[in-house]
Amino acid sequence: MSSTLKSTLHPATLAAQANGLLDDGTGGVVPPIHPSTTFVRGEDYAPVVEGNVYSRSAAPNGRMVEGVLAQLEGAQDAMVFPSGMAAVAAVFRTLPSGATVLVQSQIYWGTTAWIRDFCTRRSITLIEVEASNSDVFAAACRAHKPALAWIETPSNPWLRIVDISACAQAVHAAKGVLVADMTTATPVLTRALDFGADIVMHSATKGLNGHSDVLAGALSAADEGSEMWQAIRMDRDMAGAVLGPFEAWLLLRGMRTLPLRVERMSSNAQTLAEYLSDHPAVEAVLYPGLPTHVGHELAQQQMKGGFGPLLSFVVKGEAKAALAAVARLKLFHRATSLGGVESLVEHRHTIEPHTGIPEGLLRLSVGIEDGGDLMDDLGQALGQ
């Protein structure tokens, strides 16, 4: 595949073709798995294959995934990790003790909890701010001059939309770095680097892989030569936070259908959001695809081709009514995660009882099933 052609290809083609990867040894259209942990050197002791020395620093299957992801993100470089939280940790471990960080409030609870603990242990000043309010976020940047700012859009489970460009301008004016968690959107819907983010993070366990069978994380960088990116790479290589070859192979396989899956999941989620918004048993629906959503216009500007698979809604009657509805669902599995081909439901107040989550809030990860079947299941569970 020529470099000229690569630059013009759409995400669906890049993903399906795995950025042109083949099994050169056999002519197979599927790239092989390379389980080797170490690689031979020639008589002059130079690596027989450049870059292949020891799999803790670099491994063929990991590089395959990174190459495809970098193309999808419009990034100069990408790195994969054994989990999304390992990717989060790799970013924050680059910060010196005494630094200041700005983190969006009410994002994925696992991220928030880990960052709070890490900052306490490292004497890092942590400022949490409502980043969906660009003025508040900009004011916090001016006041605190953060070395790093962390945003998530759409946020989990509140589905708040953050103006990436506005945040990037504010952070850069303070000489800081902006990292965006784009797990919910995936690069199919939003390429945050195009809006000024410096680094993008994904829990690749979710939409990138999409089959609930791989634990992985990923980072992509606008500038592979930046000081922070080089520090992240050194940390990963030395600390060994690498993705195994089989997991990388599975992740690449999952990514080949990413655009197709995201399109179907977004369409289904839109259908369900519209249905639930008129349901008498529902108090509120949180989905950026609805015109009533406070971030709808911004989401239209930042998200192309849909609004993602994540949907939250509040059932009237608080926890008792919400849990009763969940118990009656037949197609939505009661499980934690998002972005998979199967639809999931989660009662977030049970998971995060002390974080301000409404007792009646249910979070849906909408899959690729028939949208009508999913709507019927919700209908019978809520009482039509």
Strands (E), the chain: 77-81, 100-104, 125-129, 148-152, 177-181, 199-202, 217-221, 282-286, 310-315, 333-334, 344-347, 361-365
Q: Is 142 a residue of the active site?
A: no
In angstroms, rounded to a whole number, what is the distance separating the alpha carbons of residues 111 and 352? Answer: 13
CA distances for 189 relative to 160, 258, 260, 381, angstroms: 15, 11, 12, 31
DSSP classification of residue 32: P
Choose among 161, 184, 130, 214: nearest CA to 364: 184
Catalytic residue, chosen from 77, 163, 181, 198, is 181
Catalytic-role residue among 108, 160, 233, 348 = 108
Q: Is 320 a catalytic residue?
A: no
Distance separating alpha carbons of residues 74 and 224, to the nearest angstrom: 12
**Catalytic, out of 160, 191, 206, 233:** 206
Partners of 77 in beta bridges: 221
Residues 6 or more apart whose CB falls under 8 angstroms from that of 153 comprise 132, 160, 161, 162, 164, 180, 181, 182, 184, 185, 190, 302
The span from the CA of 90 to the CA of 154, in Å, is 22
Active-site residue flag, 135: no
Residue 108: active-site member: yes
The residues, any chain, with a CB within 8 Å of residue 283's CB and separated by 6 or more, are 313, 314, 315, 316, 360
* CA-closest candidate to residue 188, choices 215, 163, 207: 207
The residues assigned a catalytic role are 56, 108, 181, 206
